[in-house]
Amino acid sequence: MYKLFIRPLLFLFPSEKAHYIALGLLKFTLKLPLVKNIFRSLYQSKRQDLSKEVFGLTFKNPVGLAAGFDKNAAYYNELSHLGFGFIEVGTVTPKPQDGNPKPRLFRLVKDEALINRMGFNNDGLEAMIQHLKNRQTDLIIGGNIGKNKVTPNENAIDDYVISFKALHPYVDYFVVNVSSPNTPNLRELQDKEPLTKLLTTLRTINETFDRPKPILLKIAPDLTENQLDDIIEIVQSIGIDGIVATNTTISREGLKTSKTIIDDIGNGGLSGKPVKTRSTEVIRYIADKTAGQLPIIAVGGIFTAADAQEKLAAGASLVQVYSGFIYEGPGMVKKICEGLH
């Protein structure tokens, strides 16, 4: 139904507009009588054996929604009816920001991919907290935190600390995002010295709370092996709880979409099927180097149960979807759950 009727209609609209039309429809539909029960039977797996404990949290199933889909935590209550085991909200910055000029989200239909240069557009920390105070789901909710564009890298820690402290009572785990390609110079924070300082600071603050929350680091797929080795060393020495691998790529290799169209789109992070192989390579490298002792959340090119199984076999503990969810529709999560072995 989704691929036959709903997706062709949504794809008539610009990507970003279609996103909010779909979320608006979801919100409206779930207010109708009995719809929540219908959604539960249509979209939620009944498998009990998929429950999993990772970094001290118990997940109903290993399939989550990646950050960027619900940037302001405005729709997570509605999205929780679509079968996810967890939802990650954000990326949030301390102050609201508009992000980059539109258009900034593009479909590559031939590649089943997206290019985005959103630029951490969000309503800011206070707006997210107000939404999270209205939590109506028992799903695990992660908070993905970043820095404001106007904050220079030398002061970046301040932004992460502000969001970390304020969100601590409202989310179940944190993801530190230093890997988006769409905020100028952000990826420089993945370098050894600034990353060590940032993660050490957050770990120290975390220990001051009665109930510390798991902290994960989201990394880019474009890192070299030497850079990955540095990150593994930092994460293990500081005692960070896990890695999210991977964010979008700046690579444009092997695309079916014509070079002219790609050049016209311009800068941005590529997600979807073209990232699948590299994402799995990064996951396998980290898992091998850490003897499988470091929890990994896999993101990148997951469309089917086989894709998810590939990531889990490479060493991931959990998986997240984004682009695949847009192309496959709301039945996707249940299909993945039912197909895992």
Q: Which sequence positions are flagged as catalytic?
A: 180
In angstroms, the CA 277 to CA 338 distance is 23
Structure letter (DSSP) for residue 66: P
Give the neighbor-by-neighbor strand order of the sheet with 269-272. Answer: 105-108, 113-116, 269-272
In degrees, rounded to 5, the angle at the alpha carbon of residue 242 between the alpha carbons of residues 236 and 247 is: 115
Q: Which of 288, 268, 314 is nearest to 299 (CA)?
A: 314
Strands 105-108 and 57-59, how do they pair? Answer: unpaired
In degrees, rounded to 5, the angle at the alpha carbon of residue 123 between the alpha carbons of residues 119 and 127 is: 145
Cis omega before residue 280 (within 30°)? no
Strands 113-116 and 63-65, how do they pair? Answer: unpaired
Structure letter (DSSP) for residue 4: I
In the chain, the N- to C-terminal Cα span, in Å, equals 26
User: Taking the alpha carbons of 3, 8, 9, 10 in that order, is the dihedral positive or negative?
Assistant: positive
